[in-house]
Structure 1
């Protein structure tokens, strides 16, 4: 973890009150986690740490863009992301991170590693379905979209279906509708 030492805060020497930290997240950050779903990352993480006598309140604000591939066309595009994460750090007998918004550190700890929380905030900000904006507005031209259009199932016209129905069925349907 020495590679990401800049994401470690030593809170013992901090005065009681609010402290601000800014982090610029790039591709090297995700190489550490061996996460390669992104082509390029340009995200700013702002941390507001409020030190209280018996606990720490942390608020992460994540904003930026990531370059990912579209799920439909596999074309790369820049996806803007924005997320926030709040974390309360309390002190107890032993380390406990079972809860998503509460971290318990053992008494005597003097530093807090933040890289995992920043990583999770960024990854959770990505939409589940990644669709290129050009696909949604129809401006993207790609071979994949042309092939999908070609292979799309054809829909029959409803007029043709109505003409093919035996007229006796229409009289029965009329009887059903009259009884309602």
Structure 2
């Protein structure tokens, strides 16, 4: 995680008040977490840190595009994504991150690494069902969809009114009781 040191915020040297931080998140950010569901990533993350005398309040917001594969067709497409996250940092005897909205840092800490929070915010802002917009409006042309269309069972008009004679023989078994 040494490559994530750019996400360290040294809060000890900051004055009491609000401070703005901005990050451009790309695919290499997710490679450090070994997360490979995204083909490409272009997300801007804004972090507003409000330093108070006894705690820190962080507001994360993200906005951008993530190129992912559709769950139905496996075709790549760009998914708009926006996310937000609030985090309160307090100081105590030992490190504690059990609560997702509250982080307790030991009294001697001088910085906070926000990479994990950015990662979770972006991953959780992606829809669980990923559907290519071309499927919804019918404009997607894909080899997979064409093959499925070709292999779909055809119903002909001449057979739609007739019943297979084998079913009639089976129906006799029900009436022969």
Q: Which residue of 2 aligns with 1:83?
A: 83
**1:3: Cα distance to partner?**
1.0
Alignment partners' CA distance in 2, 1:56 and 1:108: 15
Q: Which residue of 1 aligns with 2:115?
A: 115
**1:154: Cα distance to partner?**
7.1
Q: Which residue of 2 aligns with 1:24?
A: 24
Q: Which residue of 2 aligns with 1:14?
A: 14
What are the within-5 Å matches in structure 2 for residues 9-158 of structure 1?
9-151=9-151
SS at match of 2:98: strand
Alpha-carbon spacing, 1:153–1:103, altered in 2? closer, same or farther (3 Å)? farther
Alignment partners' CA distance in 2, 1:93 and 1:152: 64
Runs of 4+ with >2 A deviation: 146-155
SS at match of 2:97: strand
How many residues were matched structurally?
160
Alignment root-mean-square deviation, CA: 2.0
Alignment partners' CA distance in 2, 1:141 and 1:151: 16
Alignment partners' CA distance in 2, 1:146 and 1:85: 42
Alpha-carbon spacing, 1:96–1:154, altered in 2? closer, same or farther (3 Å)? farther
SS at match of 1:83: strand
- Map Cα deviations across residues 54-103 of structure 1 (whole Å, 9 max, x no partner): 00000000110010111111111000100000000001111000011000
Alignment partners' CA distance in 2, 1:57 and 1:153: 59
TM-score by length of 1: 0.83
What stretches of structure 1 of length at least 5 have no aligned partner? 162-180
